[in-house]
Each structure stands twice: as C-alpha cells, then as structure tokens.
Amino acid sequence: MASLDDNVTIGVLLAGGRGRRAGVDKRYLVLEGRTLLQRNLAFLRSLLPTTVVSLAPDQELDLGDAGDAVLVRDAWPGSSPLAGIATVLERFRQPLFVMAADLAFPDRAAAERVLTVFPGHDLALPMVGPHYEPLFAVYGPTCLAPVTALLEAGRHRIIEILTDLDVERIRFADDAVFRNINTMDQYHEACRQASAADTSSGVTQPALVAIVGKSDSGKTTLIEKLIPELLRLGLRVGAVKHDAHSFEIDHPGKDSWRHGQAGAHAYVVSSSEKLAFIAKLEGEMPLADIARRFFTGFDLVVAEGYKRTAPHIVELFRLGTGHDAPLCAPGEALALVTDAPCEHAHHFEPDDAAGLARFLAARLETLRRY
C-alpha cells in the first residue's frame, strides 16, 4: 500500500525520554563539543528541510545554540516513542523520518538508504538480524490509523503495527549506527570512540563564562555546586578565580620559592598529583588569554569575577546580602541566578545548579566566541 505522498521532507527527533537509567538528562550530555540533542538535530537538518522535536506533554526544552525547531508535545499519555510518532503524524499527515535524540553516531548513508527505499510503502524499517530498529525509520501517513488504534488500546510497542502495514525491511549488517545512549557506561564508551576517531588538526578554544555578582552574594558557593553538575554532563571543566590583590601561592622558604626569589621569570612546582605554574607578570593577564593559554583541551572554563572583561557572564543576585539590585544592566548577563522577583529571559533559582549547567552546555558554541 503506497502512501499518498512519498516525498519525505520532515525529520522528527524523539526527545521525550526521561533518561532515568543515565541518572542525568542525557539530551544535554556533551559529545565532541555539542549536546546529544544538538548533534542529532544538526544531523536531521542536514538531511531534510523541516525538523520537528517531539516532547512529552509536560516537558520544556532548551535548544540553546541549536536554534529554532518545531516543538510538538505528545497528545497521548505514556511518553512513548509511539505517542510521539502518532502526534506528529496527526499534525502533518506527511511521511516522517523518525530518529531517537540519544543516538551516539547517526550515519548519513544509513539514513539515505532508509529514505530511498520508502516510496511505495507505508513504513521503511531497518533490521539487524531478527531485530527491528524502529527509531531510525520512515513512517507514512497510512501508519496513523493502526498507530492510533494501538495507543487507544493502551499499547505502545511499535512492532505491533507491522502486520497491518506494507513494510519495507532494510537489512543492516550490524547495529553500530543505531546505538543509543541509555547509561553513563554507554556514554563514556561513545566518548572513547569519538576520541579515537578524532582527526581534527585545529585546536578549539574552550568555552568561557564568568559568574559575577556583588560582594558576599555567594559566587564561590554557586560555582562549587555548578562544577559537579557540568561534570555529570561530560564536560571537562577548568576554573579561574580573580583576585584584585597580590597573592602568594608558593610558601616562602621552600626551594621553589627560592627559585623565584633568585630571579626566575616563571617556575613550576610539580608532583604526581598536581602542577602549579607560577609566573611573574608586568600587568594583569586578560581572562580570555588565561583560558586560551592554560585550558587547551577543556570544554568550559568557569571564572569567578571579571565582570568588566569577561566575554560572557552569568550574574548571581541574592536577597539578604545587603544589596537591593543586580549588578548587571538589563541584557548584559546571559542568565540571572536569583531568589528575588527579577525578570530575565533565563532565570534560575540559586539551588538550581543542574538547570544552569544544562543552560551552559546548550550554549558552548556561543561561549567559545571571544
């Protein structure tokens, strides 16, 4: 049974999963410098002119640097892939290329193969051995009736509709291109694979953001909470603390201190666990230069202070600290962390370090511009 229109122009990213097994919102896990959500959204955009993101009814989504997409929330309970497919089919009544948002390494050749064989069928469905891969498939409009009937019966297994449809099965030798990330072990394995396959010759400077605020607002405490949340998303994080006064990191009388006293312009204190590079400066080094020079290979550098010179800032403003207004002018800070009734497009409570971490992870590309 052929679909009414065999031209596939819509790609659907199923992003309604809760990530319970990963213990973190896996859509924001960072792989090769971008979140899984952004990587897979970019993949779909490279294939098809229209991109839709399918969500559960109560979910919000921060696309960050990924830009705009059509967001469609499930019209069916259960937050299942089938509910997402049915909802988008109902809205567009056109063939859909459907893909999971947590795929590690989607493959263009595999997607084009599925898209190519779809015309003349209701469903183009990859298979590896006896197993179906329904979250990298094309669903025609004629799938809507059996899918809806299945959902009305309270069932959500996609393979139950196959007997009612003209299905073109596409055989693949292995499941490498269909592997998704459900656990942190799978995520770490994907990171290892990405690292082993990296052939890039250029060095990308780290993303850079400063946490600013008036005195005693709790900037250090916020950073202490933020860094572990960034680490959970797979980011390699560095930190910089601005000190307006002179400080002594080395201990007077120690051998290394004596090296400096003897006139060395720079010296290193090194052990099996830590390394400190100490250099004499004629003027303060700009924050951007610190990030570029000392944090090569890091994903994100979080600075404390540097309100006047940081390229990107997040302000912390808390009630009860003796201040009656934020430090930054409207529009100056990317986000505002506060317990006060202040308006900002990106507002976070002081205890929502996880939300702030997701916000920053979704904007690494922006934060790399300085």
Confidence of residue 200 (pLDDT cuts 50, 70, 90): low
Can you give the CATH number for the domain in which 32 is found? 3.90.550.10
pLDDT tens readout for residues 119-130: 999 999 999 999
The reply to whether 1 falls in a domain is: no
Within this chain, do residues 185 and 274 fall inside the same structural domain, yes or no?
Answer: no
Residue 74 has pLDDT above 50, yes or no: yes
Q: State which amino acid sits at residue 364.
A: L
The reply to whether 202 falls in a domain is: no
Q: How many domains is the chain partitioned into structurally?
A: 2
Average pLDDT over the chain reads 91
The reply to whether 201 falls in a domain is: no
Within this chain, do residues 177 and 86 fall inside the same structural domain, yes or no?
Answer: yes
Within this chain, do residues 105 and 143 fall inside the same structural domain, yes or no?
Answer: yes
The pLDDT of 230-243, averaged and rounded, is: 94
Enter the pTM of the model. 0.88
Last residue of a domain, one of 156, 171, 196: 196
Last residue of a domain, one of 196, 230, 262: 196
Residue 117 has pLDDT above 50, yes or no: yes
CA 295 to chain centre: 20
Which residue is listed with tokens 């990030």? 291
Radius of gyration of the chain (CA): 25
Domain that holds residue 150: 10-196
Closest CA to 210 of 283, 316, 63: 316
The reply to whether 183 falls in a domain is: yes
The reply to whether 75 falls in a domain is: yes
pLDDT tens readout for residues 255-287: 887 887 887 888 888 888 888 888 888 888 999
Within this chain, do residues 181 and 85 fall inside the same structural domain, yes or no?
Answer: yes
Instruction: Identify the weakest region by mean pLDDT among 21-25, 192-196, 208-212, 250-254.
Output: 250-254
CA–CA distance, 302 with 207 (Å, rounded to integer): 9
Within this chain, do residues 180 and 69 fall inside the same structural domain, yes or no?
Answer: yes
Within this chain, do residues 181 and 269 fall inside the same structural domain, yes or no?
Answer: no
Last residue of a domain, one of 154, 171, 196: 196
Q: State which amino acid sits at residue 217.
A: S
The pLDDT of 149-167, averaged and rounded, is: 90
The pLDDT of 351-358, averaged and rounded, is: 96
Within this chain, do residues 167 and 259 fall inside the same structural domain, yes or no?
Answer: no
Can you give the CATH number for the domain in which 224 is found? 3.40.50.300
Residue 113 has pLDDT above 60, yes or no: yes
The reply to whether 2 falls in a domain is: no
Residue 333 has pLDDT above 90, yes or no: yes
Within this chain, do residues 72 and 39 fall inside the same structural domain, yes or no?
Answer: yes
The reply to whether 154 falls in a domain is: yes
Within this chain, do residues 118 and 179 fall inside the same structural domain, yes or no?
Answer: yes
The pLDDT of 233-247, averaged and rounded, is: 87
The pLDDT of 132-156, averaged and rounded, is: 94
Residues making up the chain, counted from first to last: 370
The pLDDT of 93-120, averaged and rounded, is: 96
Closest CA to 211 of 225, 200, 199: 225
Query: Which position has the higher pLDDT, 198 or 184?
Result: 184
DSSP letters for 129-167: TTEE-TTEEEE-GGGHHHHHHHHHTT---GGGGGGGS-E
pLDDT for position 364: 97
Percentage of the chain beyond pLDDT 70 is: 96
The pLDDT of 174-180, averaged and rounded, is: 93
The pLDDT of 53-72, averaged and rounded, is: 91
Within this chain, do residues 38 and 148 fall inside the same structural domain, yes or no?
Answer: yes
Within this chain, do residues 248 and 343 fall inside the same structural domain, yes or no?
Answer: yes
pLDDT for position 3: 42
Q: State which amino acid sits at residue 126.
A: P
Residue 1 has pLDDT above 60, yes or no: no
Residue 202 has pLDDT above 70, yes or no: no
The reply to whether 4 falls in a domain is: no
pLDDT for position 331: 87
Within this chain, do residues 305 and 219 fall inside the same structural domain, yes or no?
Answer: yes
